[in-house]
Amino acid sequence: MLRVISWIFFDLGSTLIDETEADRHRVQEMTAETGVTQEAYCEKRLEMIRQGLNGDAEAARFFGLKKTTWHSEDETPYPDAVPVLEALKRRGFRLGVIANQNPGTAQRLKNWEMLGYFDVIAASAELGWAKPDPSIFRWALGQAGCPAGKAVMVGDRTDNDIAPANGLGMHTVRLLRGLGAHREPQCEKERPEHTIRTLGELPDLLCGEGSVIDPIR
């Protein structure tokens, strides 16, 4: 059966936005003058992620560290982000954001010349709900006027992105990028409908030849 998709919602961090430098900055500040090396922290974090746990929280607890400020100013769009958004817009999709973010998401998107691609922005700092709370997903779908079954969620986290979207009946696409790529689904709800290794695979997955998902024209 043809599944007709009208909206695609994106996570930001490690999906459209590269957080590598912001993460390095925070780890550097967390470990400064503690006797804990950045390498040891990152190794422990990866170990926790592979166990299906919250890597940052568990590594910080293990070493007795406190999280420091997240430097959003260090974030940059991935090179493939705008070309993919442009391709999806050309093919008739409406686009939105569902993301856990510091205040000022819309302004950052504007600075990156990405704001115009999105018709709905659901950001945790402004709304007061954070993923995996399904409330932020419901709000975004409500603003879009879109039933869950006609929307796709694209993200890197099986716990924050895939599970709540699956629970609401959205279609789901997991992007294997960033630290989230090391975490295996911990339950059936965390299993995505589709998995991609590069963002550039998304347009053909959604409406390429032989696809089972087409946009409303």
Residue keyed to tokens 């569902």: 98
**CB neighbourhood size of 216 (10 A):** 11
Let me know if domain 3-19+75-215 sits in CATH 3.40.50.1000: yes
Give the domain ranges of the chain: 3-19+75-215, 20-72
pLDDT digits (tens, 9 = 90+) for 156-167: 999 999 999 999
pLDDT of residue 210: 44
Tens-level pLDDT at each residue, the chain (217 residues): 235 899 999 999 999 999 999 999 999 999 999 999 999 999 999 999 999 999 999 999 999 999 999 999 999 999 999 999 999 999 999 999 999 999 999 999 999 999 999 999 999 999 999 999 999 999 999 999 999 999 999 999 999 999 999 999 999 999 999 999 999 999 999 999 999 999 999 999 987 654 444 444 3
d(CA 44, CA 41): 5
The answer to whether the pTM exceeds 0.85 is yes
pLDDT digits (tens, 9 = 90+) for 129-140: 999 999 999 999
What's CA 122's distance to the chain center, in Å? Answer: 12
Cβ neighbours for 189, distance < 8 A, ≥ 6 positions apart: 162, 163, 166, 167
